[in-house]
């Protein structure tokens, strides 16, 4: 989120299961994220990855709750369709299982299965969606391409085709003297043929080996009519196998000036 919604492709974290499933082959450990838009809108995501059967298996759990008074929050964010689905309370719960492994030509292939439960007022929608992706190291960068949400969608009218295509590139924590420098960038195409883009840079300083303090700054596309800022920012602490993260994206009319996300990860 701090990097303009572009995923740091070589981070090796289990939350890759939500962005590019092919990156699971590089992932391990456990992660937990909490994001808050206001007192009535928040989400939680947990993920884990472990080596299995010649590749890597990952699991993920996501939950989003939105109060009825925040149905218009879609005017400030890009978190459609839940934020604009209705004037009644909305919730979504997703259980994800993914698998990735290295195949020929140094390509990593990955797939995830999402079991989705969406509730809009008294309506309940249960569907199964699929993500399929591929990734590869290209020079100093890692690149990944993913097809998201194949299958029947419960709210948006997108048929059984993909809800979104995304291409990401980046590098995580390249040493430069006493600094660690990373970058990430992404472009996407959704089911309405609308392009999205974003990217960012991070600079880490390590006064002691294994203790790194990281500053992040990003920029991303803003849909027409949105009060969301194109700028994102955040900080992180890397301590051996522990990572602590915070990110913010300002938007008008929000409690605390914007949406905030906090994360903790173990490797």
Positions of the chain with pLDDT lower than 70, given as ranges: 68-87, 155-158, 253-255
Distance of CA 92 to the CA centre of its chain: 16
Per residue in 126-177, pLDDT (tens digit) is 999 999 999 999 998 999 999 999 998 876 656 788 989 999 999 987 888 8
User: What confidence score (pLDDT) does residue 82 get?
Assistant: 63
Whether the ω angle into residue 156 lies within 30 degrees of 0, i.e. cis, is: no
C-alpha span between 108 and 104 (Å, rounded): 8
The number of CA neighbours under 13 Å toward the Cβ of 188 is 27
8 A C-beta contact, residue 249 and residue 229: yes
- DSSP string of 143-170, one letter each residue: EEEEEEEES--SSS--TTS-SEEEEEEE
C-alpha span between 241 and 159 (Å, rounded): 42
- Token pair 């292939």 in the structure block, residue: 109
Per residue in 20-30, pLDDT (tens digit) is 999 999 999 99
* pTM for this prediction: 0.89
User: What confidence score (pLDDT) does residue 209 get?
Assistant: 81
């Amino acid at each position: 989120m701090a990097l303009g919604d572009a995923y740091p492709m070589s981070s090796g974290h289990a939350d890759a299961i939500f962005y590019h499933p092919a990156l699971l082959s590089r992932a391990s450990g456990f992660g937990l994220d909490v994001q808050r838009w206001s007192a009535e809108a928040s989400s939680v995501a947990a993920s884990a990855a472990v080596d299995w059967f010649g590749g890597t298996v990952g699991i993920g759990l996501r939950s989003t709750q939105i109060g009825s008074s925040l149905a218009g929050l879609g005017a400030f964010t890009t978190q459609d369709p839940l934020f604009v689905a209705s004037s009644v309370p909305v919730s979504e719960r997703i259980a994800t299982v993914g698998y990735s492994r290295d195949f020929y030509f140094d390509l990593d292939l990955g797939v995830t299965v999402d079991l989705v439960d969406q509730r809009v007022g008294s309506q309940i929608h249960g569907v199964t969606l699929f993500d399929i992706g591929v990734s590869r190291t290209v020079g100093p960068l890692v690149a990944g391409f993913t097809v998201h949400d194949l299958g029947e969608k419960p709210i948006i009218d997108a048929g059984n085709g993909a809800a979104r295509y995304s291409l990401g590139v980046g590098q995580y924590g390249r040493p430069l003297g006493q600094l660690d420098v990373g970058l990430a960038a992404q472009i996407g195409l959704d089911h309405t043929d609308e392009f999205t883009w974003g990217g960012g840079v991070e600079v880490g300083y390590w006064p002691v080996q294994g203790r790194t303090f990281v500053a992040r700054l990003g920029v991303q596309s803003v849909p027409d009519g949105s009060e969301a800022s194109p700028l994102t920012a955040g900080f992180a602490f890397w301590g051996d196998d522990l990572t602590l993260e915070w990110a913010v994206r300002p938007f008008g009319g929000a409690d605390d000036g914007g949406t905030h996300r906090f994360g903790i990860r173990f490797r």
